Structures are given as structure tokens and as C-alpha cells.
Structure 1
Amino acid sequence: YAAAHPGGLPGVDDQPPSALAPDRPLLCIPLPTRQAPLGVVTLSPPGDRWDPDDAVMLVELTRRASIAIDHAQRYQHNRDIAETLQRALLTELPAPPGLALAARYLPATHGLNIGGDWYDAFRQPDGGVIAVVGDVTGHGLRAAVMMSQLRTALRAYAVDGGSPGQLLTRLHTFLHHLQPDLFATAVIARFHPDDPTVTWAAAGHPPPVLRTPDGAVRTLDAKPGAMLGIPMHQEIADHTVPMAPGSTLALYTDGLVERRARGIDPGIARLADALGSFGPAELDTDLEGSADGILRPMLSDSERDDDVCLLLCHLRGTG
């Protein structure tokens, strides 16, 4: 829309005085979308009047800009929905006596922010606590739905008791028969208030990292089982290590430690360094802050191509 006298046109009140001069033409170009217009671009010519070719070019540029803005807004809307759904699938952690838990979930910086990473922790009928971190292969709604089904199945199986290895073996059979073309990794740790040890098992998942009360850190690198859901029979083994009060166990997904062209081992070493950097009382008094303190150096060097899960399990000190 072009007008020699722009008075009364919508959107011109915020134009500079030179654009509102009665003797100066004004070009107003709507920003159309598939639903409602985004607004109007109001332009004044560099000279006394608009060149027809310039006007045609500006109309086309504005049309393309409108399409780009509309797509960006729709993408952001879908991204927000996906992240809200992902967080709704993550549970609130329990607060069992003597055991502190802190979890962090961060979506990938690319894509629609929905994937198959999850963490969970819950009590078993005998007083034990199960902590789990898992990762369904792929991204998108299908991976998120499968993640939710695995989490629900694990809780159901754990009601009957069972060690981490037994629970993972049942999850393996469940996934293979339910979705033969989907796979997952997971690590489960079991704590019991009457037992100064932790029993853990992994299926195709990065190993837990354990910090002892004296500040020493080591990777629990016992041989894991294969990925959940692959077409093979497997009985996933349990591993038990001492875990004295003041110890901290870190469970995580590969998005925290794996970077392109560098593999996973350097990232696990960095995680061990970060976990070992805290003072003697920091993990006891502020586990939530400690989780943030681990993420900052781990994620400061690059954008995230994958989701990130971190679950810290800290046995409170006797003092």
C-alpha cells in the first residue's frame, strides 16, 4: 500500500518525523502469514518518491521475511512444547534417609528438544532405593514415548524386588518384544540403608563414576551388558563396591561426556576431575549446587548435539 498522505495509517505513529511529512510518500507492506498478519512494515523513500523497481523488490523481501519469521515462531512454539513434554516425563526425586539425590536434565541445543534420555529414583518395598539413568536411541516423540514406557516398566518390575542386573535383564526382554527396532542403554544403582555398598549394573551405558570420602575418584569399569533390546539373549551381571558415608556416585548419559572427534574417554576423565574438585563438605551440604558445578565445566566448550542427564547419589556423612 502506498500513500502520498500517510496520516491515519496504522503503525505510523512510531515513525520519525521525516516519514510523516504530508508531502512525502510512504510505503506500507503487510507481513502476511498462514493465520493472522504479523504486522506492517512502514518505509519512506530515500528521495522524493519510490522507484517502482525498488518498491517491487521491497515487497518481495518483506514477503520472504514474513515467511522466515513465521517459521521461526512456529519452530520455537514446537520446541517449547517438546521441552515441556520432556520435563513432564521426568519425575520428582525422593528424599530417603541418609541418601541425597540431585538430577539435571538439559535438552540438546539443536532440534525440537525431545529425546529418550531419562533419570529416575524410587524406593523398593524392602527399603532399598533404585537410581537409574537411561537413553533410548534416537530423538523425537517416538523415543520419548519409549522412554516413558521403559521407566514405567522398571518401576513395576522393581516392586517385586530384584537386583539392578535382574531389572535390566527384564527391561531388555521387554524392549526387544515391544519395539524390536528401538534400542536403549541404562545404568541402575541400588542403595540400602543397612548395607555400606552399592550394587550396580549397566547395559551398553557409560560407567558410573564414584568419589570416596577421601576425595579419590574412580570409574566403575566392570564389563557392562549389551544394549537393551538388541536381538540376543543376555543375563546382565551385577557389580558391588563399597560405598562409605560421604561417597558420591555419578550416573549420566553420553551427552555429558561425548564430543565429536574426541570420543567418550576424555569426557569421562573430565567428569572424574570435576567430581573430585569439591571440598570435603560441599557435596554433603549443597548437592544441587555441586551438580551445577559439574555441568559448567563439562558443557562450556561446545553446543550440545545430544541430551544431557546427570544424577548424583550422595551418602550423607556420619558427622
Structure 2
Amino acid sequence: MAHRHTTPSGGSGDLLQTLGDLTGRILDRIKFQQARVELAAALQRQVLAAELPVLPCLHAAGRYAPARAGLDIGGDWYDGFVMPDGSVGFAIGDVQGHDVEAAALMGQVRTCLRAVAIATTDPAEVLRRTNDLLVDMASGLFVTCTFLRFDPLTNELADARAGHVPAVWAAADGRCDIVLNEGGLPLGIQAGESYPSTSRKLTDVGAFVLVTDGLVEGPSYPIEEGLERVATLAGGACRDDPDELAAKIIKVADSTGHSDDAAVLVLRYGRLREQRVWQDEG
């Protein structure tokens, strides 16, 4: 009797084809996500300061933590640069949102601040002019920011605040406080807004710590509690290297429940092994 040969049913072949298609789609998605992450990282590197100015008596350090949702980019930033008169400008800010649009506007704001600081070194005037430029741009987004100027000849630190989170200062003896200086509206909301500035004489070792709101508040985490936690960390580690202190503080963002990105900027005055105190001139 002749043997009859049969061909496999189409079911198994269709299954293998389907599995192959799904595998290909998964690999495509993985590659796409990797490309997004690499693009986000490249963009963030471009808009964050690669290095901060180094002075004999003032040591600066910054840290950035990406958003816990969406793309790993956002509108939080810190910056530092030498100004024409030899003083040093520092800034920390937060553009509304955490997406490509926020990151792009953040880059523009950072550029505006640097450009304005060529014409004037007064923090209040730097913020006022930058605000008017952003209002003219009509981006629809607002920006909170603190701008500071340190004069190495007089050891004076002046700052102005545009709707930004208050700073924290800590002395070498462990004393710390939240600096509730008067400020103005966030940048980009109202033309002609003014930004009062405050000056203080730095006489001895202390740390001036600035953060964005993603680091100190969350859905069930009030900003006051977050600032107190930052103050406690700063007060207990004021003698630390500023890089170490910034690294400790940025970890606070993990416990807030906030999905936004976060940044911290630490300005430490005095040589690392000296033990002195700040003197506030008001």
C-alpha cells in the first residue's frame, strides 16, 4: 500500500509567524525607547552646566534628577558663569512641565540670563529684563528662578527670586534656616514685574542651598516639610565637600512622590577645613 504524505496544518506556521512579528515589534519598541533615552540625555547635557566656576573661597556643586514619569528631561536647571566685572553669577530655575518643550524653553531662559548679565550684574535687574524678554516670547509657560551674584572682592552674595522655592543656609556650627526673602512673580507672566534683591556678607564657612520644587514637595509632602529636611541635611553636613552635600540632598527627591524632575545647587563659602559662621547683613 502506498504511503500518503500529509503537510502540516497551517495553524503552527501561522503561530510562528505571529510570534516572529511580535518579537520584531518588541525589539523595535526597545530600540525606540533607547533612542528616546539617548536623545533625552544628550539634550539634558546640552542645557545643564557642564562645569561650575571655581573660586578659592567659594565652592559650587549641582545635581539633577530626571522626572519619574514621561521623558527623562524637563525644565529644571542650574548654572554658573563668570560675569564681565569678575563677579560670578549663579542660577537655579524650573520651567513649567517636564517634556521637550519645557527643556527647550529652559535652554532659552539660561541663554537669556547669561546675555542679560553681560549688560548688568544686579540680580534684580537680570531677572527683570529676562522676564520682559519671556513675556514678549509669549511661550505660554512660566519659569521660577533664583539668580545670585557673588563678588570675590567683597565676599558679598546678592540674590533675587522670581517665584522660586526659598533657599536654605547653614552655618558650620550646625545652625540652619530657610531664607524667606521677598520675591516677585515667576518669569514670563507679567511685563514690568520687579524683583527685590537681598545682599549678605559671607564672612566664614557656610552653605547656601537652592533647590527646585520637585525635590521638596509632592502630593502628600508639603513644601515646608521638604525644606526642613533639606535644612537638616545641610546643617549636619555643612563642612562636607559641596559635591557630597549636593549628592545627599538630591536623594530627597526619591521620597516626595513628585513625578517632576529636580535640581539642587550648593554654594559653599570658606575653605573646607575651616569652621566659621555666616554674617547676614540683611
How far 1:169 moved relative to its partner? 0.7
Gaps of 5+ in 1: 1-49
Cα distance in 1, alignment partners of residues 255 and 115 from structure 2: 39
Contact 1:83 1:114 in 2 (8 A): yes
Give the counterpart letter for 1:261 in structure 2.
Answer: S
Q: Deviations over 1:189-218 (max 9, x none)?
A: 221123344211111110111112322111
Note closer, same or farther for the CA distance 1:74–1:303 as it changes in structure 2 (3 Å cut).
farther
Note closer, same or farther for the CA distance 1:302–1:254 as it changes in structure 2 (3 Å cut).
closer
SS at 1:195 equivalent: coil
Whether 1:308 and 2:262 are equivalent positions in the alignment is yes
Gaps of 5+ in 2: 1-7, 275-282
Contact 1:258 1:267 in 2 (8 A): yes
Contact 2:216 2:226 in 1 (8 A): yes
Q: What residue is the counterpart of 1:239 in the other structure?
A: 198
Give the counterpart letter for 2:243 in structure 1.
Answer: E
Q: What residue is the counterpart of 1:159 in the other structure?
A: 118
Q: Equivalent residues in 2 for 1:193-232 (5 A)?
A: 193-232=152-191
Of 53-62 and 165-174, more deviation after overlay is shown by: 53-62
Q: What residue is the counterpart of 1:74 in the other structure?
A: 32
Q: What residue is the counterpart of 2:75 in the other structure?
A: 116
Contact 2:60 2:265 in 1 (8 A): yes
How far 1:129 moved relative to its partner? 1.3
1:126 to 54, 63, 85: 85
Give the counterpart letter for 1:72 in structure 2.
Answer: I
Cα distance in 2, alignment partners of residues 122 and 86 from structure 1: 18
Overall identity of the aligned pairs, in %? 33
Cα distance in 2, alignment partners of residues 193 and 98 from structure 1: 8
RMSD, matched Cα: 2.3
Give the counterpart letter for 2:44 in structure 1.
Answer: Q
Contact 1:100 1:313 in 2 (8 A): yes
2:145 to 186, 189, 196: 186
Larger Rg: 1
Give the counterpart letter for 1:212 in structure 2.
Answer: A
How far 1:269 moved relative to its partner? 1.2
2:223 to 258, 264, 270: 264
Instruction: State the number of aligned residues.
Output: 266
How far 1:140 moved relative to its partner? 2.7
Note closer, same or farther for the CA distance 1:114–1:300 as it changes in structure 2 (3 Å cut).
closer
Q: What residue is the counterpart of 1:294 in the other structure?
A: 249
Q: What residue is the counterpart of 1:15 in the other structure?
A: none
How far 1:108 moved relative to its partner? 1.3
Contact 2:214 2:258 in 1 (8 A): yes
Q: What residue is the counterpart of 1:172 in the other structure?
A: 131
Cα distance in 1, alignment partners of residues 218 and 192 from structure 2: 31
Q: What residue is the counterpart of 1:248 in the other structure?
A: 207
Give the counterpart letter for 2:60 in structure 1.
Answer: L
SS at 1:240 equivalent: strand
How far 1:105 moved relative to its partner? 1.4
Cα distance in 1, alignment partners of residues 87 and 71 from structure 2: 36
Note closer, same or farther for the CA distance 1:303–1:52 as it changes in structure 2 (3 Å cut).
farther
